[in-house]
Amino acid sequence: MVPLYYYLALSGILFACGVAGFLIKRNLITIFLSIELMLNGVNLSFVAFAAHWHQLSGQVFVFFVMVVAAAEAAVGLAIIISVFRTRQTLNVDQINLLKL
């Protein structure tokens, strides 16, 4: 038996690591990876609450989060490719315009 707040603490740690990476990192792709880490942390708390409240809808919501993450990854990586093609850099300090 594991207390529910162990799972919530783990989820919080993962989310916090994602936030820290989002703020600290300077590489566009690593920032994107940090967003995925945040989404994963939220997913863990969804599944933990689903097990705690005996509600399967928590697990269904994880699927929706995964679909949104997949769509976000596809569009975001396309934007990254497009930005890299015009600027030749992935450093966010040098990317101040999304306009081509």
CB of 27 closer than 8 Å to CB of 40? no
Residue recorded with tokens 């990317």: 95
Q: Does 95 bind another protein (CB under 8 A)?
A: no
Note the Cα 91 to chain centre separation in Å: 19
Q: Which residues, other chains included, contact 38 with Cβ-Cβ below 8 Å and sequence gap of 6+? A: 14, 15, 18, 19, 22
Amino acid at 33: L
What is the pattern of x (binds another protein, CB under 8 A) and - over residues 8-47?
xxx-xxx-xxx-xx--xxxx-xx-xxx-xx--x--xx--x
Among 93, 96, 97, 99, binds another protein (CB under 8 A): 93
Q: How far is the CB of 22 from another protein (least distance, A)?
A: 10
Could you list the residues that contact another protein (CB under 8 A)? Answer: 1-10, 12-14, 16-18, 20-21, 24-27, 29-30, 32-34, 36-37, 40, 43-44, 47-48, 50-52, 54-57, 59-60, 62-64, 66-75, 77-82, 84-85, 90-91, 93, 100
